[in-house]
A and B are shown apart, each in its own frame.
Chain A
Amino acid sequence: MWDTNEQMAADDLARLQLDRLQTMVGRVATHVPFYRNKFKEDKFDVASLAALDDIRRLPFTSKQDLRNNYPYGMFAVPLRDVVRIHSSSGTTGMATVVGYTQNDIDTWSNLIARILTAAGVSTHDVIQIAFGYGLFTGGFGLHYGAEKLGASVIPISSGNTRRQIQIMQDFKTTALVCTPSYALKIADVMMDQGINPNGLSLKFGLFGAEPWSEKMRQEISERLGILATDNYGLSEVMGPGVAGECQHCNGLHVNEDHFFMEILDPATLEPVDPGQVGELVITTLTKEAFPVVRYRTRDLTRLLPEPCPCGRTFRRIERITGRTDDMLIIKGVNVFPTQIESILFDIEGTQPHYNLIIEREHNEDKVTVLIEVVESIFFDEMKKQRTMVDHIKKRLASELGVGVHVKLVEERSLERFNGKGARVIDKREL
């Protein structure tokens, strides 16, 4: 175990949470105008926060609230105290910007070290981080935590699978960090190259940043010969490190000393019965630069109330089973169909009709956008027509952060749906 908090007794944890919650709520009331105004509107008196249950009187924070305060409106400290800035994927204006103080980075590193330890990784391991480094929290989040743990870190970042494998062989990598689909991609390429994964030093795989299934876990474990664990986080709350599985692979321990979790019915916003599926709502307890109160993650999960044989007392949640909104995770990138809609609207000058088809081919997500042709994007010259298709493709790719195929189809050939989610045809079987 990385630290003693992980075995806290329930009442000690509750006391610590309340103490931290009171401090945090007091801070946001003072330093974040968004919360100050909300509290005022709701006539919420900070001093009245006397028990953990009182959290239910606090307002929610949505992704839209964060967007409305782009870029720095939700920061609770001046920029001079911020040492790191990350951003969620999304077009400008759609993106959310998050900041970290030095203390935040230290906490984050500690929580990642916890998750790595829980998954079996130690100071003796060589850890290959194949998450993208950059504005995405995955790469740097894992990196600092792995250094904190004292493992040997290979900051290879994402992509170039053959090189990943070469380095895995030469540097004797023992732990792999990436998305689960990328792990399978690596296994495929190894097979193509005639490399036997059992000849590698690989023992552990820590996977996150996209939804996956028990079936995928089994496949990854068998094909790469590793212990595959799940971890969870989101940049709005911190990044990876919010929750992670131990070696029992039976759900993710939530780092409850730093995050207060609620699982609510997304319709009524009332707590679901323990063990029932609901939306995960998270309140940060210790974040300095970017605290959030009752952040609606839109992720669906359920509480696993039984104690875990590993001895950690932090409660577990089941792997994320879905979303309450239409957000898609494609190659680890968050994509909202509305983004596609607004880009197409911009190009066509009219309400676009499109379908988004997502398939998984050779363990890689393939996205095809079917677009109904309208006069503004139709030309009698083939050269111009193809240039237009390329133009649409490039804009979608650059603004979504993920490559797409574009296919033009005849007008009125796509089904007309009510509701946004229906424009998406997700054929991936996880």
Chain B
Amino acid sequence: MTTDTAPSQSVYPVTRDEGASSEAILAVIVDNEPGVLARVVGLISARGYNIESLTVAETDVEKHTSRITIVTTGTPAKIEQIKAQLGRLVPVRRVIDVSREADALERELALIKVINSGDHRLESMRLADIFRARALDTTHASFVFEITGARDKINAFIELMKPLGLKEVSRTGVLSIRRGAESD
């Protein structure tokens, strides 16, 4: 093997991929047609790329376009290859590397259920307040909190809830958009 980091998954000797692996957020604008998500997901799995999260919904009803936001990791060369391969799909109109923009906004929403009582219940409410999480549902024994923010913030909140009776987590995956007047 010629790589001095982790051995390659490929049986073919590979040249060392320059550059460290990093995360990228890709916004993929697609025609909203049957099977388009399967095409995108199928391509990513067939070529062995990672998906950390994937979010999709129609964003322009008149133009029939959807926006798929993909969080993936890889070396800069790998990310370029993912973008090029996505761009090759017929229903893909544009691929935007949102993480390249210094001013990209990133948000995620999570619903978090905790089951607790006594001090833990009070503590979880206090933390929810600090994180600006909303209690969507309350029983004597449980809360469902809604929290929005960057992934780090949500991860931190989940970590804090773990010793306080965390039961269930549901997350949307990352959404992103560019700041300012410019649009993609």
**B partners with A:** no
Contact surface of A with B, Cβ cutoff 8 Å: none
